[in-house]
Chain A
Amino acid sequence: MRRALIIVALARTASADPLDEIGLGAAATGMANARSALATGAEATHLDPAGVARASGPELLLGYQYSIDHLSIDEHDAGVIDAHGTTVALAIPVALGGDLRIGFGTALYLPDQFLARLQLTPINQPHFARFETQAQRIVVEPVAAVSFGNVAIGAGASLLADTRSRQLSFDVGVVGGETQGQADLDISLPVRAAPLAGVWWRPHPKVDVAATFRGQLSLDLALDIRANVNVPGVVTGDAIISLRSVEYFTPMRATVGAAIHATDDLVITADAAWEHWSALGSGVPDLRVLIALDIAPPLVSSMQPPADFHDIVTARLGAEWQRDNWRFRAGAAYLPSPVPAQTGITSFADGARIAGTAGAGVHLAPGSVLTKPIDVDFAVGWQHVAHALVHKDMDLDPGGAYSSGGDIIQASVSTTVRF
């Protein structure tokens, strides 16, 4: 009996939190997500947990967002599927007397097509690793906060689940002269969590500042499929297909933000975020096929080159102008790429992004129809991914090259209901 091990290099996906890309609610979308110092109540569950305790009463935010991806590689459609899903956020503040308040909340993002998608392509195939599945995962962020006067702090967790096979076996044998197979499986999705924290401070009546932190998060996939074959006189042994992958790598992130109330009806906001992409590691998971049957498979060496992503700092600006019950918003952002020059075997397509957004919202006041106010907001956004032409190292891939770039169009609508 001979044994052989096949180790296959694949490229995994790495992405930001889906709610970082388009925002929780259309107000955030319309201001390029630059609202960490301004957010209160339901929308603060993602932007800055400290803001959950600052709401005047319970709030429910319900929204829908859609991103159309026009990304190309070598002038052809890159195959990045459009991302669309529902956002839900809930905030329940409780006044404890005086200026002391506490609050609880949860932010959810539910993609339409699936809660998560694990897509691995050959490592040398050019693909948009940061966009292929970035908005194709669920987001669950329960938080709690306390505020006292002009200061608030909050904390929580960003939750995701791994996928693990505790048992996934397939037994083949002969019973009563017939070849038969039977299988048993035990698949679990254990929860994993990354910490969230935020602080908010109003040092001046016209100035709000905020700082937030989110730990690193990913979805670890471990599937081991074992086939045990026992057909006397024909073949006996095991075949094992083993897949290990770390998906949806979402880097550690620290954000500082400010909101300046320039006039009674105009507020200017800014956010800057540091994202720890260099922790991505090799960027390459592996699929292994272990054969212990009477055949002679080839042996391919493993290739796990380091991804060498680098940390980045993103900058976002926003403005909100209020006129009667209407609010008009605009935003802009610069989002550099963490991907290094792809001259080696890996072919991660990426590029620096610039973004422009606009939006509006109406505040429906209590009256003959409503007992509490309701906000209805909508926004559109555009992101341009810089065009890049990559030339491979002549020693590794003589003449190898590919180009990439494109645009992403976003739209969002949401309503905030107060109880």
Chain B
Amino acid sequence: MGTRHVLTAIALASSPAAANPVEVFGLTSRHAAQANAGVASVDDAAALYYDPAGLVADPKLEFEVGSVVAVSHLQIQDHFASLTDPVGFQIAMRAPLPLAGALANRIVVGIALHLLPTEVVEVVAPPPDRPFYPYYGDRLSRIVVLPGAAVRLDHGVSLGFAVNVLAGLGGTISASEGATRAIDSRVDERVPTIARIIAGAQYELAPQWKLGAVYRQRFEIPFSTSAVTNVAGEPIDIDLSASGAFTPDTVVAGGAWSDANLTASLDLGWASWSAYPGPFVRVNSELPLVGPVPGQTPVVPFKDTFAIRGGVELTRGTWVFRGGYGFETSAIPKSQPGVTNLLDGPHHTIGVGAGWLHGTMRIDAHVQLQIVGGRTITKTIYDGTGTYDPFTSVRDEDTATPGTQTSNPGFPTLQSGGEVLSAGVTFEVWK
């Protein structure tokens, strides 16, 4: 704060990085190769994410294990954002309950996991002026745990649900002088369970046609800590809160056509990004001699996104070939004349892959390219008219010095865009 010179290079070097969970890079190579399309066609343990109703589409005892790796070529001005957690491991399994008679193969349970090599989760809430890609930020640096179940009803209808489970962190640290001037302090930090629903349905319209729809509930990892300290009669209260790993309410619906050797699917999706509170820390503090300190958190008008995805899977003997394409609009405003430097653009996803069948096992591999459209952010200097809005302009931080003095790394312009390449292998065995 205060007068500073432009320090763009330092800010860019510390931009948040990403891992590769299922929301962005897909669950298992089979579906990542189809650009994550297939709410109507999914029929394996990966249904726990794509559409839990698909768990019961082709009931069998099944176990899948794999890995996915990603590299980034996303531009931030003349630098590139790197990935600090480029490797993830995926496990998915399902099993029909051992029921006989009319209930045989009608209820299937399963669990899917995306695991990071070294951590459970990382919540990153940068200062408002730091340039970074929220879509590839800390929402990717988390493990994913999806237990679920599905039931097959009559008339070609199947219903399923899964629970998206993780943890948050919140609590209070308090310290103050007691009656004897000794410090009386208490700490109560809790790691609460965060659980959100994924619910889906599939309907067999005709022998070769299926419809599917899935709803994924908004998910975020809350972090808050309140340090309430009173020293020598002076309050030192620091109250910080943030939401990490945000994924909005999402609805996806689609259709699929299949015969003995070919499956084609098409999905349409909507995500409620307009409800995103933003990636920034919310503060409410009181410091000695300074008194209450209001936070300066810009209100960003995030936009709902729309997506279309298509995928095909072709079987030829013991080989399976797959491909897919997806397009998703950006939730991030294209124009950011104020302090924020949130980087994004329309997303194009292209996937290809292949699998090799041997008895009751299959090995799949895929490559997926995500292209983020290029953008240029241009800043506007606050002219002193009206109430200052940190989203619409930046301040001249030292009006006594000629010219514009601002530490915002996006001033006067900031270029973004690029590609993220991911690849993976999955081994599947069933009985």
Contact = CB atoms under 8 A, between A and B. Distances in A.
Contacts of A60: 95, 109
A234 interface: yes
B307 interface: no
Contacts of A110: 193
Chain B residues touching A, majority SS: strand
B354 to A, nearest CB: 27
Contact of A171 (B1, B126, B186): B1
A189 interface: yes
A115 B191 CA distance: 5
Nearest to B128: A182
Interface string B212-236: 0000000000010101010110101
B191 A116 contact: yes
A179 B119 contact: no
Given A118-B190, A225-B240, A419-B61, A300 B183 contact: yes
A346 to B, nearest CB: 15
B169 A163 contact: yes
Interface string B109-145: 1010000001111111111101000000000010000
Contact of B397 (A8, A175, A369): A175
Nearest to A112: B193
Nearest to B98: A372
B173 A113 contact: no
A295 B123 contact: no
B1 to A, nearest CB: 2
Given A182-B1, A185-B223, A295-B232, A234 B122 contact: no
A289 B235 CA distance: 12
Interface string A101-142: 000000000111111111111100000000000000010000
A117 B191 contact: yes
A65 to B, nearest CB: 16
A231 interface: yes
Given A161-B120, A191-B120, A245-B187, A184 B125 contact: yes
B186 A6 contact: no
B238 A235 contact: no
A417 B1 contact: no
B154 interface: no
Contacts of A374: 98
B358 interface: no
A172 B281 contact: no
Interface stretch (B23-31, B203-211, B249-257, B290-298): B290-298
Contacts of B234: 295, 297
B315 interface: no
Given A58-B61, A189-B121, A227-B287, A183 B281 contact: yes
Interface string B1-29: 11000000000000010000000000000
B316 interface: no
Interface string B233-248: 0101010101010000
A180 B191 contact: no
A231 B98 contact: no
A47 interface: no
B262 interface: no
A47 B323 CA distance: 46
A185 B100 CA distance: 54
A182 B191 CA distance: 25
A296 B122 CA distance: 37
A185 B124 contact: yes
B181 A58 contact: no
B265 to A, nearest CB: 29
Nearest to A221: B189
B225 A225 contact: yes
A255 B367 CA distance: 48
B188 interface: yes
B119 A161 contact: yes
A288 B419 CA distance: 45
Contact of A180 (B1, B169, B223, B232): B1
A243 interface: yes
A241 interface: yes
A370 B99 contact: yes
A60 B123 CA distance: 33
A115 B290 CA distance: 38
A188 B191 contact: no
Contacts of B242: 185
A384 interface: no
Contacts of B99: 369-371
A181 B173 contact: no
A114 B192 contact: yes
A26 B121 CA distance: 32
A6 B183 contact: yes
B412 interface: no
Contact of B285 (A6, A121, A170, A176): A170
A135 B111 CA distance: 24
B370 to A, nearest CB: 24
A398 interface: no
Nearest to A117: B190
B156 interface: no
A60, A115, A119, A295 pick with most chain B CB within 10 angstroms: A115
Contacts of A268: none
A186 B124 contact: yes
B232 A183 contact: no
A113 B184 CA distance: 27
A284 interface: no
Nearest to A173: B1
Interface in A359-373: 366-372
Contact of B100 (A115, A293, A296, A366): A366
Interface string B152-176: 0000000000000001010101010
A184 B95 contact: no
A243 B232 contact: no
B283 interface: yes
Contacts of B238: 170, 225, 227, 239, 241
Given A117-B188, A419-B95, A368 B101 contact: yes
Contact of A122 (B95, B103, B119, B184): B184
Contact of A241 (B236, B288, B397): B236
A75 interface: no
A301 to B, nearest CB: 10
Contact of A172 (B61, B293, B382): B293
B126 A184 contact: yes
A418 B189 contact: no
B296 A243 contact: no
Given A186-B123, A291-B288, 14 more contacts: A117-B189, A171-B1, A181-B294, A184-B130, A185-B223, A191-B119, A230-B1, A243-B187, A291-B231, A298-B181, A367-B100, A369-B100, A371-B104, A419-B61
Report the 6 A-B pairs with minimum CB-CB distance, sorted nearest first.
Answer: A173-B1, A372-B98, A183-B281, A297-B231, A120-B187, A116-B191
15 contacts: A8-B183, A112-B193, A114-B192, A116-B190, A117-B190, A117-B191, A170-B240, A174-B2, A175-B397, A182-B281, A189-B169, A221-B189, A227-B236, A295-B289, A370-B98
